[in-house]
Amino acid sequence: MGELYQKMEQDLAIKNLARGTREKYLRCCCGFVRYYMRSPREMGLGEIKEYLGQVVREGASPEKLKMYVAGLKFLYGVTLDREVVAKKIPWPKVPKKKPDILSLSEVERLLNAAMSSSEIPAIVAVTAYSAGLRVSEACRLQPEDIDSERNLIHVRLGKGNKDRYVMLSERLLEILRAYYRRVRPGNRPGGWLFPGGKPGNPITPEGVRIALKAASKKAKLRKKALPHTLRHSFATHLLEGGADIRVIQALLGHSSIRTAAHYTQVSERFIGSVKSPLDKLRISARR
């Protein structure tokens, strides 16, 4: 895409979208350009629909297709200033699936299996679960973000570039102190709490995903155990423990309580604890 790539990259940065989202949008649009080997300026809705059809034929999931649509809408609506074309690109219907929720014992098995194999990715996963962090937020923590005096973790520039505070678990603090004494991450370039393979960079979310996948196999879990699974499980476990949904909303960093409700509505134990009005009626069963 050349010059157009740089312009779109700048537009994405100005919009202040998350780094991962910017990279995915650019990657999708580069695939569009490679498919036709022509500039997007020379193409329109017909070429876009044909390309998206090819993405579907190649087996893309509805979620992946939605990312392609979002990237192309941004390219045409913002970077190329062709809003008429962008508005006509149809959004795919994405099925709403209930996420897998790990029980407390399954989380314990998963994290113990991870800790026995790869220390830094495992402690990132433990940190993420302990406070419901996104894996990207946990990866980018720095030592000074751990406030042991107030029992808080300072999450800097989370989704939407918003700061927030979450609880600091006593057990997590013990684990982090032992880890810090062994690894001394503060002495490494970049000053990240969880340094990555490249000097000066933090561990990547992908590194944590790979470690959790291996740990899930080792723990013989039948459910998917992705970093976001831990976040869903954290919210559900809080709800089952009686936490107020507004507290869960603040911990997860959601601006809308509806988004927080999406995490908490999956608690089957919570649903099972609700009494049916039938229980108040005197109805005899036939014998």
Q: Catalytic: 98?
A: no
Q: Is position 27 annotated as part of the catalytic site?
A: no
Q: HSE, CB side, 13 Å, CA atoms: give it for residue 277.
A: 0
Element at 261 (helix H, strand E): helix 257-264
Q: Of 114, 118, 40, nearest to 82 (Cα)? A: 40
In the residue annotation, 254 being an active-site residue is answered as yes
The Cα 266–Cα 193 span in angstroms is 33
DSSP 225: -
- Would residue 231 show up in a list of annotated catalytic residues for this protein? yes
- For residue 134, indicate whether it is catalytic: yes
**Phi, psi for 90 (deg, rounded to 5):** -75, 140
**Catalytic pick from 73, 109, 237, 254?**
254
Among 159, 164, 232, 237, the active-site one is 159
- Per-residue three-class SS string for 58-103: CCCCHHHHHHHHHHHHHHHHHHCCCHHHHHHCCCCCCCCCCCCCCC
**Contacting residues for 151 by C-beta, under 8 A, at least 6 apart:** 167, 168, 170, 173
Neighbours of 66 (CB within 10 A): 15
CB 221 within 8 A of CB 137: no
Which one of 51, 76, 179, 263 is the catalytic residue? 263
List the catalytic residue out of 73, 109, 231, 232. 231
The single residue of 134, 140, 232, 237 carrying the catalytic annotation is 134
With contact defined as beta carbons under 8 Å apart, do 89 and 76 qualify? yes
DSSP 8-state code for residue 280: G
What does the buried/exposed string (b/e) look like for 77-95 if buried means 16 or more CB atoms within 10 Å of the residue's CB? bbbbebeebbeebeebeee
Rounded-to-integer distance, Cα 193 and Cα 199, Å: 13
**Catalytic machinery residues:** 134, 159, 228, 231, 254, 263
